[in-house]
Chain A
Amino acid sequence: MRKKVIFRGVALPYLLLAPQLLITLVFFFWPAGMAVWQSTQREDAFGLNTEFVAFENFTDLFRDPIYLNAAWNTVVFSSAVTVLALGSALFLAVQADKHIRGAGLYKTLLIWPYAVAPALAAVLWLFIFHPSIGLVGKALAVIGVQWDFRLNGGQAMTMVIIAAAWKQVSYNFIFFLAGLQSIPTSVLEAAAIDGARPMRRFWTVIFPLLSPTAFFLLVVNLVYAFFDTFGVIHALTRGGPGNATETLIYKVYVDGVQNLNFGSSAAQSVILMVIVIGLTAIQFRYIERRVHY
């Protein structure tokens, strides 16, 4: 789709585009190109010389147990966050979509966590799960659970998952609610007249109609869990204990900023870029079918 009537101009359109393009070139393409270049380089221990090593940084990564561990953590973390955030949001949206008093109020009370920064969500949950000053942390100790997420890797992973998912539920809730409200009531009434009970109505009518929204949210949640949860992990566990909560994005930071291993960090960046490109492509292929630019 494009306009039939347009303005003619030679310099003006370029001038209008200039600020956006300049920022894009300097802060997106230049660093992305540098990441690709650096991923083929290796610096010696003193940072004096660099040599071209082609794909060696990549092959090293796939042989590095710490990197493979981070990849596995990412799989566990992202799938748990996605399932938890999608599941509870769908449940709450179905409840809030019913014709009940105070539906508007519930909606307001459920959407505000969207505004909370992931790192801040981590801090809020820390107050609850802190082993010696937290409400739940202390309660767990009372019932005999050896609770200390700073020592126990599994517990640390549980905490970052809860903090990350908690923040994302409201986002999913908004989209599920919008999806539910766009289902025509006549369809649901027809199913009710046919004698379908609520549970059956949900699985045979509502859920299939909601599946495009669910699929869109699945991709968005994966992207969120992959890239936006650095703050949760950094604020709460710093990737520890051991490397128990180190995800791929966290490892890019550790290797680049703390260990100053630029070649490896750049190679990891390139791998992550490929993942984002893949996820975004999936998302847009699907959206293309629904929205026409």
Chain B
Amino acid sequence: MSATIDVERLAAASRRRRLRGRILTHAALILGVMIFALPIWITLVGSTHDTDTIGRGDVPLLPGGEAFTNYARAWAEGGGGRNTFSVPASTMLLNSLTMALVIACGKIAISLLSAFAVVFFAFPFRMFFFWMIFITLMLPVEVRIIPTFQVMTDLALINTMTGLTLPLIASATATLLFRQFFLTIPDEYVEAAKVDGAGPMRFFKDVVLPLSVTSMAALFVIQFIYGWNQYLWPLLMVSDRDLETVIVGLTKMIGIGDTQNEWNLIMTTAVFALLPPVLVVVLMQRWFIRGLTETEK
């Protein structure tokens, strides 16, 4: 009799403990999510008030009624108040989009070709070329900015979309990823292609490309974000405001963080700058995680 009561009491205690554990887990995760979301919330709210409300320092916590005006103005005119930085957000977003797309597609294209050459051909200096590409992993643009800038000046590529994108297109990681993937393509496929009399480019088009679609999609997400988020390179390369990207443009609007900035328009522009890459990550989550874990490891 007393034994059953004990068992029931123990079971109830363990249920309570599990429930408490679950509540704590949820609490921790919700807190984490809130810390992540807080800056975004403030920015979203800020983008819906007028300049004076924010400039006065009345920190609003709930959305105001100026959203439409702010977004329309930032989109068509830009803003920045006393720093008078005004490139329309539409121009900056188009530049960022072009830059991100050219970099992502360019990286995928040249990496596919070079990985194909390294894996499916035998030719002198094969490994030497492979290592030459590999070593660029160790030379991020940030550490060699000045000489790279000088090279761009010599080539007259300053203030051009080509200058903005071309130097960032070479990619050791993408080449490594495709190489690794190509090595898993069975030898029989190549043999069959040869028996059928297909040349290498035919094999590339009919066999390799279709098989690589998922890798390309995964890589595209990562590289699009990489291109969109560039900062130092566009900061140096572009002084022409028609070529301003949104990330650099946004920080120029802030200047030295003056209270007389048009903060509502700055926050509106921040939302514009944030939305495309975040949407890409959220909507293409599966590809994104694949691309990330496969390129880095």
Chain A residues at the B interface, C-beta cutoff of 8 Å: 1-10, 12-14, 16-17, 19-21, 23-24, 26-32, 34-35, 38, 88, 91-92, 95-96, 98, 100, 102, 106, 108-128, 130, 132-135, 138, 150, 166, 169-171, 174-175, 178, 216, 220, 227-228, 230-231, 234-235, 238, 249, 252-253, 256-257, 262, 265-266, 269, 272-273, 276-277, 280, 287, 290-291, 293
Give the 7 A-B CB pairs with smallest separation, nearest first.
A117-B229, A124-B39, A231-B231, A31-B147, A115-B277, A34-B147, A256-B146
Residues of A within 8 A of B155 (CB): 26
Residues of B within 8 A of A175 (CB): 293, 296
CB–CB A111/B191 < 8 A: no
User: Chain B CB within 10 Å — which of A5, A34, A272 has the most?
Assistant: A5
CB–CB B231/A227 < 8 A: no
Q: In the complex, A163→B241 CA distance in Å?
A: 27
What are 17 contact pairs spanning A and B, CB under 8 A?
Answer: A3-B190, A7-B199, A20-B114, A23-B170, A31-B147, A35-B146, A35-B147, A100-B26, A115-B277, A119-B250, A120-B273, A124-B42, A127-B42, A174-B292, A174-B293, A230-B231, A272-B142
Residues of A within 8 A of B42 (CB): 124, 127-128, 135
Range class of the B interface residue count: 35 or more
> Restricting to B129-177, which residues have a CB under 8 Å from any CB of A?
129, 132-133, 136-140, 142-148, 150-151, 155, 166-167, 169-170, 175-176
Q: In the complex, A96→B22 CA distance in Å?
A: 11
CB–CB A12/B200 < 8 A: yes
Q: In the complex, A35→B148 CA distance in Å?
A: 9
CB–CB B55/A133 < 8 A: yes
A66 → B minimal CB distance (Å): 18
B42 nearest in chain A by CB position: A127
Q: Which of B6-14, B75-83, B278-286 contacts A (4 or more CB under 8 A)?
A: B278-286
User: Chain B CB within 10 Å — which of A91, A169, A280 has the most?
Assistant: A280
Given A6-B122, A26-B167: 19 more A-B contacts, CB < 8 Å: A7-B194, A9-B200, A12-B121, A23-B169, A26-B151, A28-B139, A91-B28, A110-B36, A112-B281, A114-B288, A123-B251, A127-B42, A166-B39, A174-B293, A175-B293, A228-B142, A230-B142, A265-B146, A276-B140
CB–CB B270/A120 < 8 A: yes
Mark each residue of chain B from 250 to 271: 1 if its CB lies under 8 Å from any CB of chain A, else 0. Answer: 1100101101000100110010
Q: In the complex, A7→B68 CA distance in Å?
A: 60
B157 → A minimal CB distance (Å): 10
Q: Which of B86-94, B179-187, B212-220 contacts A (4 or more CB under 8 A)?
A: B179-187
Question: A4-B187, A95-B29 given as contacts; is B151 within 8 A of A31 (CB)?
Answer: yes
Residues of A within 8 A of B205 (CB): none
Residues of B within 8 A of A3 (CB): 119-120, 183, 187, 190
B175 nearest in chain A by CB position: A20
CB–CB B144/A35 < 8 A: yes
Q: Which of A20, A112, A277 contacts B138 (CB 8 A)?
A: A277
Q: Which of B133, B146, B199 contacts A21 (CB 8 A)?
A: B133
Residues of B within 8 A of A178 (CB): 289, 293
> Restricting to B10-46, which residues have a CB under 8 Å from any CB of A?
22, 25-26, 28-29, 32-33, 35-40, 42-43, 46
User: Chain A CB within 10 Å — which of B54, B113, B194 has the most?
Assistant: B113
B135 → A minimal CB distance (Å): 8
Residues of A within 8 A of B148 (CB): 27, 31
Q: In the complex, A120→B140 CA distance in Å?
A: 20
CB–CB A269/B146 < 8 A: yes
Q: In the complex, A138→B254 CA distance in Å?
A: 19
Q: In the complex, A29→B248 CA distance in Å?
A: 27
CB–CB A13/B117 < 8 A: yes
Question: A6-B190, A109-B36 given as contacts; is B147 within 8 A of A32 (CB)?
Answer: yes
B111 nearest in chain A by CB position: A20
Question: A116-B278, A135-B59, A290-B297 given as contacts; is B194 within 8 A of A31 (CB)?
Answer: no
CB–CB A5/B235 < 8 A: no
CB–CB A291/B297 < 8 A: yes
CB–CB A124/B55 < 8 A: no
A130 nearest in chain B by CB position: B257
B257 → A minimal CB distance (Å): 6
Residues of B within 8 A of A277 (CB): 138
Q: At the interface, yes or no: B74 with Cβ under 8 Å from chain A?
A: no
Q: Which of A169, A234, A252, A291 contacts B145 (CB 8 A)?
A: A252
B255 → A minimal CB distance (Å): 10
User: Chain A CB within 10 Å — which of B147, B250, B277 has the most?
Assistant: B147
Q: At the interface, yes or no: B209 with Cβ under 8 Å from chain A?
A: no
B180 nearest in chain A by CB position: A293
CB–CB A20/B133 < 8 A: yes
CB–CB B277/A116 < 8 A: yes
B83 → A minimal CB distance (Å): 14
Question: A6-B121, A10-B123 given as contacts; is B132 within 8 A of A24 (CB)?
Answer: yes
CB–CB B138/A276 < 8 A: yes
